[in-house]
Amino acid sequence: MKVTIFGATGLLGRECLSQCLDAGHEVTLLARTASKIPTELRERIAVIEGDGLDPVAVAQSLKPATDGILFAVGIDRHSPEDLCTDVTRNILVSMRDHGIKRFVWCGGGNTVGEEDVVSFGSKFVVWFSRTFMALRHRDKLHQIALLNESRDVEWVGIRPLQMNKGPRHGKYRVGFDRYSGFSKITAADCAHAMIRMLTDDTWLHRAPVIQY
C-alpha cells in the first residue's frame, strides 16, 4: 500500500513508520523537520518538509495513488489551539481533491461518545482532561466533530488512554468496553491497530477505545 503519515516524528508516529516499512508499504510523510527522521529510514521513504497547518504542504504529501493516511499528530502545551482539527481539515480537503478514501487517526479516551460505557472511570478521565489538559481535550472534541460531519471519507479511529513506550504485543481490546484513567496501551500496539484499520472496515466511521 501507499501510505502517508502525519506526525511521524512523535512516539506513535515513529511506530507507525517503522511498522509500515516492516510490512512493505510505500511510505510518504510530512514533517516540519525532516532531520528528525533517522538517516537509515529517510533513504527508504519520501519526506515532504512542511507543516500540516499549510494546505499546500498537505496537498504535496498526498497523491492520487495514496491508499491511506495515518494521523499520529501529537499535542503538547505549546501547540496552537485546534492543531489536530485544523490539520485534519486540510487533509480532508486534499483527500477529496485526490479521491483518497481511507483516513485512520488516533484520538483520546477523554472524548466520551454515545457508544461508550459511561462509568466513574470514564467520567474521571473527562474531568481530568478538562481540568489539566484543556487544550488537548478541546482539540479532540473538535476533531471528532469534524470527522462526524465527513461521512464521505472512510475514516476510522482509535482512542487510547495511557499510551506508553513498550513492545508490540499484538493482543489488545478494541471496542467500547468500560475504561478508566488506568487503562494502558503501548504506542507500538496503537500503531499495529491503526495499520490494520487501513484495510479493515469493522470500525468504519467509529472510534473505539484501545486498551489491554
The pLDDT of residue 92 = 98
Angle separating helix axes 187-197 and 11-22, nearest 10 degrees: 50
- Domain segments of the chain: what residues? 2-211
| CATH code that applies to domain 2-211 | 3.40.50.720
| Distance (Å, whole) CA 81 – CA 138 | 8
10-47 pLDDT per residue, tens: 999 999 999 999 999 999 999 998 888 888 888 899 99
pTM over 0.75: yes
Higher-scoring residue by pLDDT: 57, 41: 57
Flag whether pLDDT at 87 surpasses 90: yes
Residue 36, all three cell numbers: 528528525
Are 3 and 20 spatial neighbours (Cβ–Cβ below 8 Å)? Answer: yes
7 Cβ partners below 8 Å, 6+ apart?
Answer: 13, 52, 71, 72, 73, 74
Flag whether pLDDT at 112 surpasses 90: no
Rounded to the nearest integer, the mean pLDDT of the chain is 94
